Structure 1
Amino acid sequence: MERHGGRILADQLAIQGVRRVFSVPGESFLAALDGLYDVGIPNIVCRHEGGAAMMAEAYGKMTGAPGVLFVTRGPGATNAASGLHVARQDSTPMVVFVGQIARSDRDREAFQELDYRRFFGPLVKWVAEIDQTERLAEYIARAFHVAVSGRPGPVVLALPEDMLSARADIPDLPPPARLPPEPGAAQVGAVAEALAQAKRPLVVVGGPHWSAQAATDLARFAGALDLPVAVSFRRQGHMDNRHPCYVGDLGVGMNPKLGARLAAADLVLALGTRLGDTATNGFTLLDPTRPGPRIVHVHADADELGRVWRPDPGIAQPAPAMVAALARLNGRPVPWGAWRAEARAEYEAWTTPRQTPGAVRMEAVIAWLSAHLPEDAIVTNGAGNYAAFLHRYFAFKRHGTQLAPSSGSMGYGFPAAISAALEHPGRAVICLAGDGCFQMTLNEMSTAVQHGARVVVIVANNGRYGTIRMHQERRYPGRVSGTDLANPDYPALARAYGGDGVVVTDQAEFPAAMAQALASTLPFVVELQLDPEALATGFTLSEARAMGEAGAG
Structure 2
Amino acid sequence: MSDSTSPQATRSAAALLVDCLAAEGARRIFTVPGESFLAVLDALPDRPEIEIVTCRQEGGAAFMACADGAMNAADGTALPGIAFVTRGPGATNASIGVHVAHQDSQPMILFVGDVARGMQGREGFQEVDFSAFFAPICKWAARIDDPERIPEYIARAHAVAINGRPGPVVLALPEDMLAQPVPASILSRPQAVRPAQAVCPDAMATLFDLIGNAASPIAIIGGAGWNAKARTYFQQFAERIGLPVATAFRRQDAIAPDSPVYAGNLGYGPNPKLLDRVRNADLIIAVGARLGEATTDGYTIPTLEHPGQLLVHIHPDPEELGRVYRTDLALACSVDEFAEAAMLWDDSEIIAFDAGADAHAEWRAWATPQPSEAALDLAACVSAMRDALPADTIICNGAGNFAGWWHRYWRYTAYPGQLAPTCGAMGYGVPAAVAAALHHPERTVVAVAGDGDFLMNGQELATAAQYGANLIVVIIDNGAYGTIRMHQEREYPGRVSATTLVNPDFAALGAAYGAWSVAVETTDAFVAALDDAKQRSGIRLIHVLTDLERIAASGATISGLRARVRD
Q: TM-score range by the shorter chain?
A: over 0.9
Three-state SS of the structure 2 residue aligned to 1:485 is coil
> One-letter code of the match for 1:66?
P
Work out which of the residue numbers 176, 181, 199 in structure 2 matches 1:162.
176
Distance 2:464 2:506 in 1: 15
Work out which of the residue numbers 135, 144, 149 in structure 1 matches 2:163.
149
Larger deviation: 283-292 or 105-114? 283-292
Three-state SS of the structure 2 residue aligned to 1:122 is helix
Distance 2:270 2:64 in 1: 27
Q: Which residue of 1 aligns with 2:378?
A: 362
Preserved contact between residue 199 and residue 335 of structure 1 (Cα < 8 Å) = no
Residue 102 of structure 2 corresponds to residue 88 of structure 1: yes
Q: Which residue of 1 aligns with 2:22?
A: 14
Distance 2:109 2:150 in 1: 14
Q: Which residue of 2 aligns with 1:33?
A: 41
Preserved contact between residue 212 and residue 351 of structure 2 (Cα < 8 Å) = no
User: Displacement, 1:208?
Assistant: 2.5
Preserved contact between residue 39 and residue 179 of structure 2 (Cα < 8 Å) = yes
Distance 2:404 2:195 in 1: 40
Three-state SS of the structure 1 residue aligned to 2:337 is helix
Residue 18 of structure 2 corresponds to residue 2 of structure 1: no
Q: Which residue of 2 aligns with 1:543?
A: 560
Aligned pairs for 1:80-479 within 5 A: 80-169=94-183, 170-176=186-192, 178-287=194-303, 291=307, 293-330=309-346, 332=348, 334=350, 337-355=353-371, 358-479=374-495
Preserved contact between residue 284 and residue 302 of structure 2 (Cα < 8 Å) = no
Distance 1:336 1:546, change over 3 A: farther
Preserved contact between residue 165 and residue 225 of structure 2 (Cα < 8 Å) = no
Q: Which residue of 2 aligns with 1:62?
A: 71
Three-state SS of the structure 2 residue aligned to 1:446 is helix
Residue 86 of structure 2 corresponds to residue 77 of structure 1: no
Amino-acid identity (%): 46
Distance 1:178 1:511 in 2: 45
Distance 1:69 1:245 in 2: 39
Residue 57 of structure 2 corresponds to residue 48 of structure 1: yes
Distance 2:317 2:196 in 1: 15
Three-state SS of the structure 2 residue aligned to 1:127 is strand
Work out which of the residue numbers 495, 498, 504 in structure 1 matches 2:514.
498
Distance 1:131 1:224 in 2: 55
Distance 1:329 1:236, change over 3 A: same
User: Displacement, 1:549?
Assistant: 2.8
User: Displacement, 1:56?
Assistant: 0.4
Larger deviation: 257-266 or 334-343? 334-343
Distance 2:259 2:218 in 1: 15
Per-residue deviation, residues 444-495 of structure 1 (Å, max 9, x unmatched): 1110000111110111111111111111112111111011111111121111
Preserved contact between residue 211 and residue 350 of structure 2 (Cα < 8 Å) = no
RMSD between superposed Cα atoms in Å: 1.5
Three-state SS of the structure 1 residue aligned to 2:362 is helix
> One-letter code of the match for 2:469?
A
Distance 1:178 1:111 in 2: 39
Larger deviation: 359-368 or 152-161? 359-368
Distance 1:211 1:314 in 2: 20
Three-state SS of the structure 2 residue aligned to 1:385 is coil
Distance 1:338 1:324 in 2: 23
Structure 2: unaligned runs, 5 residues or longer: 1-8, 74-78
Per-residue deviation, residues 269-322 of structure 1 (Å, max 9, x unmatched): 111111222122111233557746111110000011111122221010121210
Larger deviation: 208-217 or 43-52? 208-217
User: Displacement, 1:214?
Assistant: 2.1
Larger deviation: 316-325 or 279-288? 279-288
Distance 2:304 2:243 in 1: 24
Preserved contact between residue 196 and residue 334 of structure 2 (Cα < 8 Å) = no
Distance 1:386 1:284 in 2: 25
Distance 1:262 1:176, change over 3 A: same
User: Displacement, 1:171?
Assistant: 2.0
Distance 2:378 2:329 in 1: 43
Distance 1:288 1:133 in 2: 51
Q: Which residue of 1 aligns with 2:6?
A: none
Three-state SS of the structure 2 residue aligned to 1:192 is helix
Distance 1:178 1:263 in 2: 36
User: Displacement, 1:148?
Assistant: 0.5
Distance 1:93 1:541 in 2: 40
Q: Which residue of 1 aligns with 2:4?
A: none
Three-state SS of the structure 2 residue aligned to 1:513 is helix
User: Displacement, 1:331?
Assistant: 5.0
Distance 1:270 1:544 in 2: 34
Three-state SS of the structure 2 residue aligned to 1:47 is coil
Three-state SS of the structure 2 residue aligned to 1:99 is strand
Preserved contact between residue 352 and residue 393 of structure 1 (Cα < 8 Å) = yes
> One-letter code of the match for 1:157?
L
Preserved contact between residue 378 and residue 400 of structure 1 (Cα < 8 Å) = yes
Larger deviation: 158-167 or 275-284? 275-284
Distance 2:497 2:468 in 1: 40
Preserved contact between residue 223 and residue 288 of structure 2 (Cα < 8 Å) = yes
User: Displacement, 1:227?
Assistant: 0.6
User: Displacement, 1:398?
Assistant: 2.0
How many residue pairs get matched? 550
User: Displacement, 1:31?
Assistant: 0.5
Distance 1:165 1:111, change over 3 A: same
Distance 1:208 1:525 in 2: 33
Structure 1: unaligned runs, 5 residues or longer: none
Preserved contact between residue 358 and residue 530 of structure 1 (Cα < 8 Å) = no
User: Displacement, 1:230?
Assistant: 0.4
Residue 494 of structure 2 corresponds to residue 485 of structure 1: no
User: Displacement, 1:546?
Assistant: 1.3
Distance 2:199 2:388 in 1: 40
